[in-house]
């Protein structure tokens, strides 16, 4: 039943765990200002996010312009 997950500036390293994409009630995700690497998990297509913040990480790859029908804006 988690609706908001805010882990901003927590010095988190490594890849974004794929299980976050299984948090179907999640509407706000903020993982910005960490040291995350790798790509955005494919499971994020399961999310219906209103807002997602991933700035100031070291992520690579491309991001679908839509996650579960929600248009994403490039910051």
Determine what percent of the chain is predicted with pLDDT higher than 70. 84
pTM of the complete model: 0.84
Question: What is the pLDDT at residue 61?
Answer: 83
Domain positions in the chain are 4-71
Mean pLDDT of 13-28: 96
Question: What is the pLDDT at residue 69?
Answer: 57
| Residues 39-74 pLDDT 10s | 999 899 889 899 999 999 999 987 765 566 555 555
> How far apart, in whole angstroms, are the C-alpha atoms of residue 75 and residue 1?
28
User: Buried b / exposed e across 11-38, counting CB within 10 Å, b at 16+?
Assistant: eeeeebeeebbebeebbebbbbbbebee
Listed in sequence order, the residues at least 6 apart from 15 whose beta carbon sits closer than 8 Å to its beta carbon are 36, 37, 38, 39, 41
Question: What is the pLDDT at residue 53?
Answer: 94
Distance of CA 2 to the CA centre of its chain: 14
């Amino acid at each position: 039943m988690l609706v908001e997950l805010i882990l901003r500036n927590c010095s988190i390293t490594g890849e974004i765990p794929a299980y976050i994409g299984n948090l179907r009630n999640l509407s706000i995700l903020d993982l910005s200002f960490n040291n995350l690497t790798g790509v955005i998990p494919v499971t994020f297509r399961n999310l219906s996010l209103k807002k997602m913040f991933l700035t100031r990480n070291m992520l690579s790859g491309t991001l679908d312009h839509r996650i579960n029908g929600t248009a994403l804006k490039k910051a």
